[in-house]
Structure 1
């Protein structure tokens, strides 16, 4: 899958860290819409329980924004904060501080946190553990539970055992679960759409299901958008963050690659990438 996506994206078409000021960003591969956005924006890919990498990348983004002299800038996080890595509780605590606390002094003017499919699996477990627990546990939920010090569960647990674990999880993770329930599936600024798993290229964002944007559809990669929207997405792991055909990939498999990536977007410049 990684090799396929890399070939699809043209082998990692990443711009230099400084971008290309003074040029009109174009998507390539049959997509020729300009990139226009209301303020400089950084979008961080899938964190998956790597609080250490998140903290490091936030520092790099902050330094980059100050070095470029931005008076106002935006931070977007692309979902999949939990599972697989060992620090999901720490990631959600940090995210809750950012979203509810408004960031940090000298930081972004706006913070937008999106929901990913792993957050949806976690919420499904909390709401219906006997029905949804097995799927979540097999896809990294065990690591998330361990990060909250909720033990005594195995990937084969079912029925009453899952109900009991879900109750203990809700007791310690209540504020984080409440925050995650409020996260939107997508956001749009100018000609840039942000959605965890991309979006159906044959429908405007407001007319497609949120499930499409959190779980994805295969035609996202095969059909160019005709509405002029660039799409920033995670969900699909690539070897190196990059862009092609108006699609901007930022998930570099942080939980095993030890590389968390972000894209910097501003009107009239090529997308530029930062890593932890």
Structure 2
């Protein structure tokens, strides 16, 4: 470091500063840096840049056993876009088994885990504990799609265990392992992709799995301050919603017939919709 009143030249030789000229130059530079930091901080707090993923993405909302809508949506995806699904492939809709087998065979599609996949996997591990909740939230439709017809929401412990064994046999261990291995989030540039939501006080890398799968009480009411956009499903909306730092794309395909997606490439947001 050069002594006071001197500046370092590129060659490392100290030279006397010319009067007070060096101080204003340094002050202007420091002020510019402070102003730039202030602007960036305000921008992160009150505004959001467009979502900027590392590469073009097409993100598709909750499927819930609607294979026809999924296949029609995939036909609309622009060339060169990585396809990401936000979870909830099973339950409620009529074709959960077909959806899972279709997705397992598509290595070009990134499938995140949703809370309905989590409920199915818990049922396979502990049918007596997890069964009642899952069956009340669409599990019956999934069981029937795998060929289990004699099922109902009030099955007792013995029937639940027998049902679990039949479902495991119908799914096969390869499909079960594939489903259990699904990631719960994906971060690309300034875009965080999750099923349900994120804790606005935590960084993308520090999110509890339960929050990503089931949501967070402050997710929709509190702004993030880091400039990250969270794209999610889980909560049904009439049409895709864009809020500061949050994009919701679950339009309730199993009930409305409408499946929605968003194309992200750093430019204007573009939505895709399939309605049957």
Identify the residue that residue 220 of structure 1 maps to in structure 2: 219
Take 1:47 and 1:142, find their aligned partners in 2: how far apart are those partners? 16
Take 1:271 and 1:28, find their aligned partners in 2: how far apart are those partners? 19
After the TM superposition, which residues 179-194 of structure 1 pair with which residues of structure 2 at under 5 Å, given as runs?
A: 179-194=178-193
Does the CA contact (< 8 Å) of 1:243 and 1:271 recur in 2? no
Of residues 205-214 and 136-145 in structure 1, the stretch that sits farther from structure 2 once superposed is 205-214
Q: How much has 1:123 moved relative to structure 2?
A: 0.5
Does the CA contact (< 8 Å) of 1:28 and 1:246 recur in 2? no
Q: How much has 1:29 moved relative to structure 2?
A: 9.6
For residues 141-188 of structure 1, the C-alpha deviation after alignment (integer angstroms, 9 at most, x for no partner) is 000000000122210002111000000000011232211100011000
Identify the residue that residue 25 of structure 2 maps to in structure 1: none
Give the root-mean-square deviation of aligned CA atoms: 1.6
After the TM superposition, which residues 33-182 of structure 1 pair with which residues of structure 2 at under 5 Å, given as runs?
A: 33-61=49-77, 65-66=78-79, 72-98=80-106, 102-103=107-108, 111-174=109-172, 175-182=174-181
Take 2:203 and 2:224, find their aligned partners in 1: how far apart are those partners? 10
Identify the residue that residue 48 of structure 2 maps to in structure 1: 32
Q: Name the TM-score, length of structure 1 as normaliser.
A: 0.81
Of residues 251-260 and 200-209 in structure 1, the stretch that sits farther from structure 2 once superposed is 200-209
Take 1:196 and 1:231, find their aligned partners in 2: how far apart are those partners? 10
Identify the residue that residue 13 of structure 1 maps to in structure 2: none
Take 2:81 and 2:54, find their aligned partners in 1: how far apart are those partners? 9
Does the CA contact (< 8 Å) of 2:45 and 2:226 recur in 1? no
Take 1:251 and 1:167, find their aligned partners in 2: how far apart are those partners? 32
Structure 1 stretches lacking a partner, 5+ long: 1-26, 67-71, 104-110
Take 1:225 and 1:75, find their aligned partners in 2: how far apart are those partners? 25
Take 2:45 and 2:88, find their aligned partners in 1: how far apart are those partners? 28
The count of corresponding residues between Structure 1 and Structure 2 is 231
Does the CA contact (< 8 Å) of 1:133 and 1:158 recur in 2? no
Q: How much has 1:244 moved relative to structure 2?
A: 1.4
Does the CA contact (< 8 Å) of 1:113 and 1:184 recur in 2? yes
After the TM superposition, which residues 240-251 of structure 1 pair with which residues of structure 2 at under 5 Å, given as runs?
A: 240-251=239-250
For residues 196-226 of structure 1, the C-alpha deviation after alignment (integer angstroms, 9 at most, x for no partner) is 0011110012222111000001200111111
Does the CA contact (< 8 Å) of 2:45 and 2:225 recur in 1? no
Q: How much has 1:33 moved relative to structure 2?
A: 3.5
Structure 2 stretches lacking a partner, 5+ long: 1-42
Does the CA contact (< 8 Å) of 2:50 and 2:268 recur in 1? no
Q: Name the TM-score, length of structure 2 as normaliser.
A: 0.81
Question: Which runs of 4 or more aligned residues in structure 1 lie more than 4 Å from their structure 2 counterparts after TM superposition?
Answer: none
Take 2:216 and 2:47, find their aligned partners in 1: how far apart are those partners? 19
More relative contact order, 1 or 2 (CA 8 Å, 6+ apart)? 1
* SS of 1:135 mapped into structure 2: helix
